[in-house]
Structure 1
Amino acid sequence: MDALAQGFAMVFSIETLLIIMASSLFGLFVGAVPGLSATMALALLVPMTFFMDPIPALAAMVSCSAMAIFAGDIPGCLLRMPGTAASAAYTDEAYAMARKGQADIALGSGLVFSAIGGLFGTAVLIVAAPLFAEFALNFTSFEFFWLILLGITCAIVISSTTPLKGAIMLILGFLVASVGMNNPAAFPRFTAGSTDLLGGIGFLPMLIGMFAVSEVIRSALDRSPRATIIDQPIHNVFKGMWQLTVKYPKQILRGSVLGTVVGALPGAGSDIASWMSYALSKKLSKEPEKFGTGHVEGIIESGAANNSALAGAWIPALVFGIPGDTLTAIVIGVLYMKNLNPGPSLFTTNPENMYAIYILFIFANLIMIPLGWATIKVAKRLLGVRREILLPLILMACIVGTFGMNNSPFDVWIMLAAGVAAYILEENGFPVAPAILGVVLGPMLEENFVKSMIKSDGEVLAFFSRPVAGVLGVLTLVVWLYPLLRHGFRRSPGRATPVGEAL
């Protein structure tokens, strides 16, 4: 009870409340502007958190991400241009409703059921995270090695339509993480004689470059004409929401559950949860023929999924230090910066901080409703902001924030190089998320591998000697070998080869 009281005191301090309000408004603005993303919003906030205490810094992360994910629905509905990737799944549906004069119902559904999904995911986080942490207290370096390897493998399979390109980006992330002396032997690697690289490539400058500068470059080079905003009055967005709740309870629960589960998978995140939820809603609907014509059912289920995935992604991030998506990858960087190292010990040594995080999630999803309503009311003004004004301001904030973290011009060059590289890679179909996972998890993987080899005196079979480690190891190998086994089965003797495959 003392830890809970301390958690409430930390969240409801004047400083934290002001930061929550400011970061919420910032997240709503970034999410509502097409071309900007929730990940970009968090990346831009990182330099600000450098000067905050741990809980206010986490409050900025939680509130900004929750608001930005919802706000992406607004331009999707009024412009047919999703503000974030999580809103893309049902953009056509919401836009069709807006053209029929139902923009208030579409936006109201996105707002209300996103909040409900976020609260559901928070409830799962509160219950599941301590249980997993208690279980993980018995983990040794063997279990963590296989768990990290399994998480990386699943991330490549889940988050990328082209697993080969995802694997290439993961290896690139490993290479970036190996630069410098941050390795078990403290041996300088790939520094090319540069003293600036002895400490490694800065993770936070690289994040700002990959997710903020790359978006600035993409938006600056985009010469497509701006879409016309649907000009219709938006009245009471809450009208009819109770009737929709009574009519679609299964869809709300299904979207919330699916979003939380998918969010907890490494590398998945809100956008994949949203697409999966929309597809499942259409498949199980009693009226599938209405989808695509302006039917609210898919918006309800996907809206619940994308915000519940946010809380779900924090479960592996807090318990194991494995990011569920790019947002929690940034959060992990902030946690290390604030000496709140993710892992099971975080729940035992700092229980008041964990209670504060739970309260932050609940509070952020509750204030989303009034702040989201206000954002919808001024949406047309937000969507009218010119890129020629916005992009230079964002780039300036990136440069100033990156330089201010360590007063290092070298960090600024890393940020700019990372932004250009991320833009070129994404334009050629290479996903950035696996690279971020490689940078975050590469040092952890190497450290646990070296520890395990020292403990076992170089005996490889020791990685399978403990029950949990053995199960995780076998499961990882099955995931690796499954494509080869499936390919061999298709070509096995006695099995007819399809004409198209033979050609």
Structure 2
Amino acid sequence: MLENLIAAFGQVFELHVLLVIFLSATYGLFVGAIPGLSATMAVALLVPVTFFMPPVPAIAAMVTATAMAIFSGDVPGCLLRIPGTPASAAYTDEAYQLTKKGKTELALGGGLVCSCIGGLFGTAVLIAAAPALAELALQFSSYEYFWLVLLGLTCAIFIASADPLKGFVSLFLGLMITCVGMGNPTGYPRFTFGSDAMLSGLSLVPVMVGMFAVSEVLRYAVNSAKESGNFTGSIDKVFSGTLRLVAKYPKSVMRGSVLGTVVGALPGAGADIAAYMSYAISKKFSKEPEKFGTGHPEGIVEASSANNASLAGAWIPALVFGIPGDSITAIVIGVLYMKDLNPGPMIFINNPVSMYSIFIVFILANLLMLPLGYALIKLSKHILRTPRNILMPLILLFCIVGSYAINNSIFDVGVMLTFGVLAYLMEENGFPIAPTILGVVLGTMLEENYISSVIKSDGNIIAFFDRPIAGTLGVITILIWLLPLFMRHFRKKQALHILPGQ
């Protein structure tokens, strides 16, 4: 083992490998910070480059670019309320409220440090418990995923505004969006209205960019006369107060890291779901839930820990069983096969040095996130100084380019603009948009797993509770649904008991 570890250090700490890690880190930061371009796209664009690389630098480029892109998506979300990647969307509103209060340093510095901590935690679990966690992940069939998705959708109500009914409406709007097109178990075109462009459905990125970015541009255009100008928050001391923040919420950091790793290890889940679930759980268990949505850093701490921890978690089923944990590892598995690092239980026996090298790269990538993330945050302060009447048209231009680049389709630009107007109208009337985005992310997975489960069980509902993990998740989800009803009944009963004595 020691010999393999020494050989792995020799492979990673070669000059050309370190140069690849640095360049891919810079590239990942750039791609993640541009709204509309995701971490998955960053990795996909690297694939042709890896054809000409040995195995270790090829995998190192993908690992580093992914980690950086997931973090850098927080920067435009915090400064402009436009998440760079879907994984940042869960806490964009929270970070933006901190920026409006002049606490940009706290939002970005705290997110950077917690992303690093979460990434290192996920890496530690990947190194120590990959086979065991992968075995747990394989226990998940369509029944378990059905309940897991429902649990995730339930989180949308917790991250919604104070009005649960409006949260429900927003959530179901997101689920309706996923019904468009032929991306359903039967392959039947739904809600296409005769349009060929809608047969493939509505892509997540144009919808997300429209709802977050275009709505903000519209809001500025309508309210520019009322606004005083740019935000005045400085970004001079990025890590000022960050250590106090982590020390204040150690449970949140640990809870987010653990949940992110576990969700990442579940095939098909990924950083987006991990971030939404962590933010919702943070609000549920917080001592100050009423502060969420007003610029409270607790949710940012937990969710940013989760989305980076999930990256390493997603590699667990990918390496041990060749089953992708998310869309990024689906691409990586192809590269592993191309480099003769065939995923499976034997990979640790046949290629131990390469496995140790991958683990070392994970650690380096998360440590490198601190200095490079710091540099990105320092550069981003110029965004705050830019007059918003210049900045907003530039943002709209980037949104149009980013939406078009997804499928090289003008239709996606129209989708982005349409949902931008819709999101503006929703927020003006008190409907939160975060549940809508979550519904879009999870809707297809919910339908596919429900249909698969019904077919397997021949319509027997009891089968949804037969398996131990599915039964546990099902009971927890239903209890969460019923809890508000029990609480309301208890409060009414208590009020009736108090009235006669008054």
Question: How many Å separate the matches in 2 of 1:152 and 1:354?
Answer: 36
Instruction: Mark the CA change 1:272 to 1:149 in structure 2 (over 3 Å): closer, same or farther.
Output: closer
1:137 Cα deviation from its structure 2 partner = 0.7
Aligned in 2, Cα 1:401/1:255: closer, same or farther, shift over 3 Å? closer
Tell me the equivalent position of 2:257.
Answer: 260
1:117 equivalenced with 2:117 (yes/no):
yes
Q: Which residue of 2 aligns with 1:452?
A: 453
- Please point out which of 304, 307, 312 is paired with 1:310: 307
Instruction: Tell me how far apart the structure 1 counterparts of residues 154 and 475 of structure 2 sit (CA, whole Å).
Output: 13
Kindly indicate whether residue 184 of structure 2 is the aligned counterpart of residue 183 of structure 1.
yes
Instruction: Tell me whether 1:63 sits opposite 2:68 in the alignment.
Output: yes
**Match for residue 200 of structure 2?**
199
**Contact conserved, 1:120 with 1:256, CA < 8 A, in 2?**
no
Alpha carbons 2:118, 2:309 under 8 Å: kept: no
1:225 maps onto 2:228 in alignment: yes
Aligned residue for 1:287? Answer: none
TM-score, normalising length from structure 1? 0.67
The aligned runs of 1:214-293 (5 Å cut-off) are 214-223=215-224, 224-226=227-229, 229=232, 251=248, 253-260=250-257, 268=276
Closer/same/farther in 2, CA of residues 349 and 201 from structure 1, 3 Å limit: farther
Give aligned pairs, total.
Answer: 440
Contact 2:145/2:449 (<8 A) preserved: yes
Contact 1:255 1:305 survives alignment (8 Å): yes
Q: Distance in 2 between matches of 1:215 and 1:335?
A: 33
Counterpart residue type for residue 406 of structure 1: N
1:278 deviates by: 8.9
TM-score, structure 2 as length reference: 0.67
Range 399-408 or range 106-115, more displaced: 106-115
Question: Which position in structure 2 is the counterpart of 1:438?
Answer: 439
Alpha-carbon distance between aligned partners in 2 of 1:131 and 1:379, rounded to the nearest angstrom: 41
How far, CA to CA, are the matches of 2:246 and 2:42 in structure 1? Answer: 40
Give the structure 1 partner of residue 172 of structure 2. Answer: 171
1:128 and 1:41, CA in 2 relative to 1: closer, same or farther beyond 3 A? farther
CA deviations 1:356-409 (Å, max 9, x no partner) are: 997676445423433354456666644322223333233222223332333322
What whole-Å deviation, never above 9, does each CA across 1:417-449 have from its counterpart, x for those lacking one?
A: 122222222332222222222222222222222
Cα 1:371–1:261, aligned 2, differ >3 Å: closer, same or farther?
same
Distance 2:149 2:317 in 1: 9
Matched, 1:22 2:54: no
TM-fit CA distance, 1:275: 7.5
Instruction: Provide the rounded CA distance (Å) in 2 between the counterparts of 1:430 and 1:248.
Output: 30
Given that residues 38 and 69 in structure 2 are in contact (C-alpha distance below 8 angstroms), is that contact kept between their aligned partners in structure 1?
A: no
Cα RMSD (Å) of the superposition?
A: 5.2
Specify whether residues 459 and 310 from structure 1 end up closer, same or farther in structure 2 by C-alpha distance, changes over 3 A only.
closer
1:62-141 matches, cutoff 5 A: 62-67=67-72, 69=74, 85-87=93-95, 110=110, 113-114=113-114, 117-123=117-123, 126=126, 131-141=132-142
Range with bigger deviation, 216-225 or 263-272: 263-272
Q: Which residue of 2 aligns with 1:472?
A: 473
**Alpha-carbon contact 1:118-1:304 (below 8 Å) kept:** no
- Cα distance change, pair 84–412 in 1 and its aligned pair in 2 (3 A): closer
Counterpart AA for 1:167? F
Alignment of 1:134-173 (within 5 A): 134-173=135-174
Counterpart-to-counterpart distance in 2, 1:115 and 1:493: 44
Q: Distance in 1 between matches of 2:194 and 2:76?
A: 46
Unaligned runs of 5+ in 2: 51-58, 81-90, 264-272, 319-324, 335-341
Matches within 5 A, 1:365-384: 365-374=366-375, 381-384=382-385
Contact 2:171 2:438 (C-alpha < 8 Å) held by counterparts: yes
Shift of 1:129: 7.3
- The CA deviation at 1:251 is 3.8
Equivalent-residue separation in structure 1 for 2:355 and 2:477 (angstroms): 30
Q: Does 1:488 align with 2:489?
A: yes
| 173-182 or 383-392, which deviates more | 383-392
Preserved contact between residue 159 and residue 267 of structure 1 (Cα < 8 Å): no
- CA–CA separation in structure 1 for the residues paired with 2:179 and 2:111: 43
Q: CA deviation at 1:458?
A: 1.8
Over the matched positions of the two proteins, sequence identity in percent amounts to: 37
In 2, Cα distance between equivalents of 1:108 and 1:145 = 34
Q: Quickly say closer, same or farther: Cα 1:205–1:337, change in 2 above 3 A.
A: farther
From the superposition, tell whether residues 109 and 470 of structure 1 become closer, same or farther in structure 2 (CA, over 3 Å): closer
In structure 2, what residue type is equivalent to 1:117? I
Letter in 1 for 2:435: P
Instruction: Determine the structure 2 residue equivalent to 1:463.
Output: 464
CA distance in 2, matches of 1:439, 1:355: 37
Q: Deviations over 1:122-160 (max 9, x none)?
A: 446636776443212122222222222222223323454
Per the alignment, residue 79 of structure 1 pairs with: none
- Superposition deviation, residue 206 in structure 1: 2.1
**Using the alignment, how far apart are the partners of 1:222 and 1:494 within structure 2?**
44
C-alpha contact 2:67 2:311 (8 A) present in aligned 1: no
1:326 maps to: none
Task: Pick closer, same or farther for the CA change 1:86–1:69 going to 2, 3 Å.
Answer: farther
1:460 alignment partner, SS class: coil
Counterpart amino acid of residue 418 in structure 1 = F
Shift of 1:179: 1.3
Q: Quick check: 1:44–1:212 contact (8 Å CA) kept in 2?
A: no
For the residues of structure 2 that align with 1:230 and 1:269, how far apart are their CA atoms?
A: 29
Paired residue type of 1:400: V
CA 1:401–1:308: 2 relative to 1, 3 Å: closer
Question: Which amino acid counterpart does residue 276 of structure 2 have in structure 1?
Answer: A
Measure the CA separation in 1 of the matches of 2:113 and 2:387.
30
Give the aligned residue type for 1:62.
Answer: A
In structure 1, list runs of 5 or more residues that go unmatched: 31-39, 76-82, 284-297, 322-330
Contact 1:122 1:308 in 2 (8 A): no
Alignment correspondent of 1:389: 390
> Deviation of residue 480 (structure 1)?
1.5
Deviation at 1:177, TM superposition (A): 0.8
